Amino acid sequence: MTRLAHLWDQSRCVACGACIAACNAANYHSTDMTNKTWGWLASNIRRVEVLRGHRPLLYLIQCQHCEAAPCVAVCPTGASYKDADGLVKIKPELCIGCKYCMVACPYNARWLDEETGLPRKCMEDECLSRVKAGLDPVCVAVCPADARAFGDVDDPNSEISRRLASSRYVRLLENKGTEPKYFVVVGP
């Protein structure tokens, strides 16, 4: 089985913004449209900063491509679906814009694209096209800090599998039962 997944290394990330801005450039034609759902730019990745603890912490949040994705379960028309490669995708032609997927996602990983009415999230057209061609998604391709990886977690030889095997990692909101496939590395 193929299960494509993302890895983000919180211990190495330098918060350079390349992944966030590159997603906007590659998938959304560098649009200046505001992402009103998140109060953010039109990108599939958002930042959560923890600024009140003992030290500053950063989280980058994007679609977790959950194995038990609530957004897939709640979609009335099957527009939100899990593909054979393990990624959660959208079929725009089946989407009526009921936004149930948006309120169903515990990660608030979807945002409303006001131009098309679609509930956007990672992965979008250009990244899907790149993955199909054997390339990395754009966020992984641009990262200068070696803080990202992408690949098949069912393949023990993939870069992501090897990296997970040699790191300590957590997943977000695990107790929601979503079986997320976004691995946050916290250290070696």
Residues in 96-125 at the binding interface with other proteins, rule: CB under 8 A: 96-100, 102-108, 112, 114, 116-119, 125
Please state the closest distance from residue 155 (CB atom) to other proteins, in A.
21
- Closest approach, Cβ 78 to other proteins, in A, equals 3
- Binding residues among 135-164 for other proteins as defined by CB under 8 A: 138, 141-142, 144-147
Applying the rule CB under 8 A, the residues between 159 and 188 that interact with other proteins are 172-173, 176-178, 187-188
**Residue selected from 2, 57, 83, 156 as contacting other proteins according to rule CB under 8 A:** 57
Distance in angstroms (rounded) separating the CA atoms of residues 151 and 163 = 11
Nearer to other proteins (CB atom), residue 56 or residue 154: 56
Shortest distance (Å) from residue 101 CB to other proteins = 9
The secondary element (H helix, E strand) that includes residue 7 is strand 4-9
Is 88 a binding residue for other proteins by CB under 8 A? The answer is no
CA angle 59, 27, 12 (to 5 degrees): 30
Candidates 5, 7, 22, 131; binder of other proteins (CB under 8 A) is 22
The helix, strand and coil proportions of the chain, stated in percent and rounded to the nearest 5, come to: 25, 25, 50
Residues 168 and 159: beta-carbon distance below 8 Å: no
Distance from C-alpha of 178 to C-alpha of 137, rounded to nearest angstrom: 23
Quote the Cα angle for 47-188-182, to 5°. 40
Q: How far is the CB of 23 from other proteins (least distance, A)?
A: 8
The correct pick among 4, 5, 7, 61 for binding other proteins (CB under 8 A) is 61
The site that binds other proteins (CB under 8 A) totals a number of residues, namely 89
Phi first, then psi: give them for residue 64, nearest 5 degrees: -90, 0
